[in-house]
């Protein structure tokens, strides 16, 4: 059998959600910006129904904050203590994931992760920092999903999103790709301890 390229099918709602997430990450939508259902519906050429679903979803992820009968707005950054807690918890989830996939990674997985890093490098060269952030997330997402499936992704995702809301910019562009390469290399060598160490260094 030839190599099967898995093209992921995205629902309309997923695409809208992705777009709004990008807008928030990129800074186009600043904290406290109010999201108007009607406007969003017109922007995406849809009715308010699906938009409401997306807003509810992003609210659960912590990116938006909703009040009854008052709509949703972009959430603010966390207070430092909560921020620290979330970093700690996210680290533990990622460490758990690494321990789980220790012996499960195939050559196919390494290739997939390699490709992600290539895309990351490219986005960095293009200075497309929104793309950088999304690709960065997708690297971690791949590992989390492999380790614990959707269940684990679902509890992991809110932490990532909230952290991204706090630090909008990738400060150290080179460091970013190097850190991820370190993780991947350690995984390739089967050196989980090092992979964990590198991951902890990357999550901050």
Partner DNA sequence: AATTGTTTAATTGTTTACAAAAGACCAGTG
Partner DNA sequence: CACTGGTCTTTTGTAAACAATTAAACAATT
Residue 65's φ and ψ, nearest 5 degrees, are -130, 130
Residue 92 binds which one of DNA, a copy of itself, none, with CB within 5 to 8 A depending on kind?
A: a copy of itself
Q: Which of 19, 26, 50, 83 binds DNA (CB under 7 A)?
A: 50
Residue 154 binds which one of DNA, a copy of itself, none, with CB within 5 to 8 A depending on kind?
A: a copy of itself
Tokens of 167: 């630090």
- Each residue 109-148 as x (binds a copy of itself by CB under 8 A) or -, in order, gives ---------------------------------------x
Sheet holding 71-74, edge to edge: 34-35, 71-74, 64-67
Q: Which of 22, 48, 59, 137 binds DNA (CB under 7 A)?
A: 48
Using the rule CB under 7 A, is 69 a contact of DNA?
A: yes
H or E element in which residue 66 lies: strand 64-67
Sign of CA dihedral 183, 189, 191, 194: negative
Residue 48 binds which one of a copy of itself, DNA, none, with CB within 5 to 8 A depending on kind?
A: DNA
Tell me the C-alpha distance between 93 and 105, whole Å.
Answer: 18
Maximum pairwise Cα distance, the chain: 55
> How far apart are CB 145 and DNA at their closest, in Å?
21
Alpha helices in the chain (DSSP H): 12-26, 37-44, 48-61, 80-101, 107-125, 129-166, 173-188, 192-202
> How far apart are CB 62 and DNA at their closest, in Å?
18
Instruction: Identify residues 72-111 at the interface with DNA (CB under 7 A).
Output: 72
Instruction: Identify residues 11-40 at the interface with DNA (CB under 7 A).
Output: 11-13, 34-38
Tokens of 65: 């904050």
User: Which residue, chain included where needed, has tokens 């964990």?
Assistant: 196
Name which of 148, 63, 40 is nearest 99 in CA terms.
148
Residue 151 binds which one of a copy of itself, DNA, none, with CB within 5 to 8 A depending on kind?
A: a copy of itself
Name the site residues for a copy of itself (rule: CB under 8 A).
Answer: 11, 49, 52-53, 56-57, 60-62, 65, 68, 78, 81-82, 85-86, 88-89, 92-93, 96, 100, 148, 150-152, 154-155, 158-159
Residues that bind DNA (CB under 7 A): 11-13, 34-38, 45-50, 52-53, 66-72
């Amino acid at each position: 059998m030839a190599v099967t390229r898995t093209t992921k099918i995205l629902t309309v709602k997923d695409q809208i959600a992705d777009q709004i997430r990008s807008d928030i990450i990129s800074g186009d939508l600043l904290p406290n910006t109010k999201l108007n259902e009607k406007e969003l519906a017109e922007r995406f050429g849809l009715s308010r129904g699906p938009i409401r679903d997306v807003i509810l979803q992003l609210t659960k992820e912590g990116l938006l904050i909703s009040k009854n009968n008052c709509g949703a707005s972009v959430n603010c950054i966390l207070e430092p203590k909560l921020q620290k807690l979330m970093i700690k918890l996210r680290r533990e989830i990622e460490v758990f994931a690494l321990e789980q996939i220790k012996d499960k990674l195939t050559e196919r997985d390494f290739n997939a992760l390699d490709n992600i890093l290539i895309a990351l490098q490219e986005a960095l060269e293009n200075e497309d920092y929104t793309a950088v952030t999304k690709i960065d997330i997708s690297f971690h997402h791949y590992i989390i999903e492999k380790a614990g499936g959707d269940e684990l992704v679902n509890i992991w995702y809110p932490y990532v999103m909230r952290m991204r809301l706090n630090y909008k910019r990738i400060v150290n562009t080179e460091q970013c790709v190097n850190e991820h390469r370190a993780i991947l290399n350690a995984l390739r060598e089967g050196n989980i301890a090092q992979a964990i160490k590198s991951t902890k260094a990357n999550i901050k």
